[in-house]
Structure 1
Amino acid sequence: MPVPPSDAPDLPNAKFFYEFNDISEACNLKTSQSPSGRSHCVCLRGNPLSITIAPSTPTELPLVSMPSRHQASVAKKDLHRPVYIGDSQGLRETLPTLKTTVSGQEPMKNFETLPPLPAHGQPLMFADLFAGCGGLSLGLSLAGLNGVFAVERDKMAFSTLSANLLEGRDVPVPQFEWPSWLERKAWGIDDILEQHPLDLSRLKGKVHVLAGGPPCQGFSFAGKRLESDPRNQLFEKYVEMVKAIQPAAIVLENVPGMKVAHKAKSWKEEFGLTKVKPHSYYDKLVESLNSVGYEVLGKIVDCSLFGVPQKRPRLIVIGIHKDLAGHLRGGANRAFELLEEARLNQLQELGLPEVVSASEAISDLEIKHVGTRPCTDPSSRTGFLELAYKGPRTHYQTLMHQGSDGSMDSVRLAKHKPEISERFMRIIQDPECVRGGLMSLAQREKYGLKKHRICLMHEKNPAPTITTLPDDVLHYSEPRILTVRESARLQSFPDWFQFRGKFTTGGKQRTKECPRYTQVGNAVPPYLARAIGQAIKLVLKEAMATANQQTITEPEQEILAIA
């Protein structure tokens, strides 16, 4: 095919000429053109796939003269850039990049620059950004992925992650394969991007999945939803990390509010005088990730459908490298189809019903069953009591207790004043108080509650959303708030998972520290993350299998356009 010298700026003329010569010689076609001379076109006489693009006289090669087996396959060369073909004044076209091996026996494949994935039998490797205490990391590890590193700025939260996934404990999941160049400490994502750009770039092909959940307080409907909240900008750092590492797949978890635009409508929008739609941070995220090579889709899922005993709607964003997404039926949406398959498989594998109730999750932690004793947790102040655990009572509790040595931490009980406990008991016994939902203004006024958000649990239903504030939720049968361990159970953290740091904090420190209640409330439920990890494994396997199966097998299609 003719390639005028002036029309192929991305491919040196001499290089193209010699590559063209390789094909010609292998096909017994003689040519005496030099790199600077007029270009030739080759076609097969009688082959319907042979075409001539550009006004030039083709050299015909009889179909019978083709060798039964290619004598010298074209050497692998850098042919990844599109080549423009046509004459210097007329037609230009762009052909897909192809690597061609002529053969009468072997199928021909359409090779693309696909993200490197591990060899057969080797696990996918992931990194976790904004990792918190490690809920997302734990779930991906339970799904069979291996962690490389995790980024978390808060020292308490990172200490918890480290205790479970970095320090070599005998636990049912693999420990992180932490890189030698990265100090094992609490890092801010901006610090790593600034101090280790070259090290991060060397992780290309070694980190296959990049996960993360940027802080959600600026998006959350439970908060003030300030557009100026600096935490709202952290997803941009996530995108920078994606660009640096270029994984095969990305996963991002956040609150549904990320999909809602913060910007108030202008008067023009109020009167329908403009069709410009305000952008949410989700919209901005999709645009940013699309610009760095990913097909992205986000959907809101209910965690309670994944075996998590908690009504917790979350926005799950999955991105697939475009070179892989092109081989998936439905693109990134295929990941959510496989997530549904993974959800059903997970319930079956774990032997869980469609819905796990609050009492099925934490009835073995009721005071009336286990009793109390003085708190022995080294991070607790004196004067507190803790639950004296005796063992699981339901199937879900048995699952949570697997891998534990019989004990667990974070079972310290809140120290309520007598009048507070009495008020809570009246609420529990009041038939007019709605269970499982937020108390109404009238109910809060009736009991002198100043908090605008307080919920009495329903023992037969999944718990309400566990937040970072321990007094948001009241126990369904005992006049108290939940322990950290009970909150963790409702998030699907196993009992062997240790929590470190303070139990609570207050005042000005609330925005600076991440104590245990906050760690649990901010976490991605591990059972949700486990299903996501299974879906990512399936979607990458399917994309690669489809890419490898896209072959041309008919004899009359043995010659492809060389560009």
Structure 2
Amino acid sequence: MRFIDLFSGCGGLSLGLLNAGFTGLYAIEKNPDAFNSLKSNLVTPSQSLTNCFKWDTSEIPLKNHDIHQLLEDKCNFLENLGHKQVVDLVVGGPPCQGFSTAGRRDPDDPRSQLVYDYLKVVNLVQPKFIIMENVKGITYKIKSDSPSPAHEIKLKLIELGYLPITFIEDASIWGVPQQRIRFILIGIRFDQIKSQLSNLHTNEILEISNQFSPIIKSKLEEFACKFKKLKGLPEIVNVGEAIHDLKTQCNSKQTYPQINATDINSKLFFQIASRNNIINNPYIRLLRKGLEEDYLPSGLRLANHNENTLKKFSKILQDVDCPEQKFKYNLRRRTTLPKPYLENEIYTKKLITKVLDKNLPASTVTTVPEDMLHYDEARILTVREFARLQSFPDWYNFQGPYTTGGERRKHSCPKYTQVGNAVPPLMAEGLGLFIKNELSHIIKKIFFPNVTAL
């Protein structure tokens, strides 16, 4: 099956689909940093990835593209792809800042309108299936007198000839060591069902969608269990299993050897010199498949915390396990530290820091490194540790700056942001295999037993 990835970011969704045996045609991403990460890892064949993109540069140059400009310049080409039925699947996660409950939920945020550009491409290339991933907030009303964005998208898809199947999914069911709650939409073109859906009214199709969505979700979760067994993964992968070998200190708090960071020409930043205290668990084996035992991945630069920050982080790590402090402030790992605790004990108004629990999956990885504190070291995570929690393999390298601020933030997409915005590759691979190997059988056997699904 051939796919196009829209708003592809650094390539998490594409990587998963390529691993599932799909053929990548194009990946559309506006930001050059994020696109260069995808390009350097997924377009050129390598020992780590033999199934890479089959990009036809004669029509769409191999570079970052703004989807508005693409629709304007390549409308005829995209429409021709639809006429020839070249594309089987369109996927993507349109920017979600306007929908996220963590933000201002601004209905006029121009990034919220990009989801409709996604639908314009779908209308032109007419894929058999679509996958859209977004934040759970897309299912909530932004204005009390208007439907949720998710409902509007479903209506538009029905108008375009697709049955929308929607549900909320936790990425951890695919073996991702992270409780990442996301809205998933699977669109099925009417003729793939061979029913008379096109003759029904929109409300009737919506009713079918609402009836089928929980059934498809249940079947998907059953498949996720099989997927994890196929990968040799346990039912739940925790933080400790994902990043234990990238610690800077041993249990006696002695510091492991460090070297100057290899990704920056500065003697002020350091990284660990080798993987330490290695426990060869199934998750690590999966992410390091094909790599030498002593292979040290990129993205290990440690934050250069000042003394005051180190003292604050050390106190948080001590307090979060202290019975008295836990009772006094209701402190818990994996949840936002309470405002009274931060103001009275840490003397800060920052409200988003969470402490990881090594025995559980992480909470949602975001684009802000300060959102997560290591489970037993007084520091934030490295880019590679973020990538491990997102299920990126160790050979995957991220391009661009580590972090940015101020005016540069408007134009660059630092590595932390790329990783935090990505669809976890393991989840993407599982979704791809479900559509490729299971969905048509489910349509035929359960929902339309009297017709033959394609």
What TM bracket, shorter-length normalisation? 0.7 to 0.9
| 312-321 vs 504-513, greater mean Cα deviation | 504-513
Q: Which residue of 1 aligns with 2:177?
A: 309
- 1:88-138 per-residue CA deviation (whole Å, 9 max, x = no partner) reads xxxxxxxxxxxxxxxxxxxxxxxxxxxxxxxxxxxx111100000001111
CA contact (8 A) 2:272 2:300 kept: yes
Which one of 176, 180, 192 corresponds to residue 70 of structure 2?
192
Matched, 1:421 2:299: no
* Cα shift at 1:333: 5.8
Which one of 372, 391, 403 corresponds to residue 290 of structure 2?
403
Alignment size in residue pairs: 415
Structure 1: how far apart are the matches of 2:410 and 2:193?
Answer: 40
Which one of 116, 139, 145 corresponds to residue 16 of structure 2?
139
AA paired with 2:342? R
Q: Which residue of 1 aligns with 2:262?
A: 376
- 1:427-477 per-residue CA deviation (whole Å, 9 max, x = no partner) reads 101122421111001111120222121101111111111110110110000
Matched, 1:222 2:107: no
Q: Whose helix fraction is larger, Structure 1's or Structure 2's?
A: 2
- The share of aligned pairs that are identical, in percent, is 39
Q: Which residue of 2 aligns with 1:440?
A: 338
| 392-401 vs 462-471, greater mean Cα deviation | 392-401
Structure 1: how far apart are the matches of 2:30 and 2:184?
Answer: 22
Which one of 55, 61, 69 corresponds to residue 178 of structure 1?
55
* Cα shift at 1:410: 0.5
- 1:350-404 per-residue CA deviation (whole Å, 9 max, x = no partner) reads 1212211111110000012553211111x56542101223374222112111133
Please give the secondary structure, in 1, of the residue aligned with 2:249. Answer: helix
Q: Which residue of 1 aligns with 2:253?
A: none
Match runs of 1:143-542 below 5 Å? 143-179=20-56, 180-204=58-82, 205-263=85-143, 265=144, 278-326=146-194, 335-369=216-250, 370-377=256-263, 379=264, 381-390=266-275, 392-393=278-279, 394-405=281-292, 406-430=295-319, 431=322, 432=326, 433-445=331-343, 446-539=345-438, 541-542=440-441
| 335-344 vs 500-509, greater mean Cα deviation | 335-344
* Cα shift at 1:246: 0.3
Structure 1: how far apart are the matches of 2:69 and 2:219?
Answer: 35
Structure 2: how far apart are the matches of 1:299 and 1:317?
Answer: 7
**TM-score (normalised: structure 2):** 0.87
Gaps of at least 5 residues in structure 1 are 1-123, 266-276, 552-563
| 321-330 vs 179-188, greater mean Cα deviation | 321-330
Please give the secondary structure, in 2, of the residue aligned with 1:486. Answer: helix
Taking a change above 3 Å as real, the CA distance of residues 191 and 408 of structure 1, as seen in their structure-2 partners, is same
User: What root-mean-square deviation, in Å, do the aligned CA atoms of Structure 1 and Structure 2 show?
Assistant: 2.2
Between Structure 1 and Structure 2, whose CA radius of gyration is higher? 1
Q: Which residue of 1 aligns with 2:201?
A: none
* Cα shift at 1:339: 1.9
AA paired with 1:385? F
* Cα shift at 1:242: 0.2
Structure 2: how far apart are the matches of 1:281 and 1:382?
Answer: 48
CA contact (8 A) 2:23 2:52 kept: yes
CA contact (8 A) 2:18 2:24 kept: yes
Taking a change above 3 Å as real, the CA distance of residues 548 and 178 of structure 1, as seen in their structure-2 partners, is farther
Gaps of at least 5 residues in structure 2 are 198-207, 251-255
AA paired with 1:253? E
Structure 2: how far apart are the matches of 1:199 and 1:321?
Answer: 21
- 1:237-290 per-residue CA deviation (whole Å, 9 max, x = no partner) reads 000000000000000000000111111x3xxxxxxxxxxx62111111111111
AA paired with 1:401? R
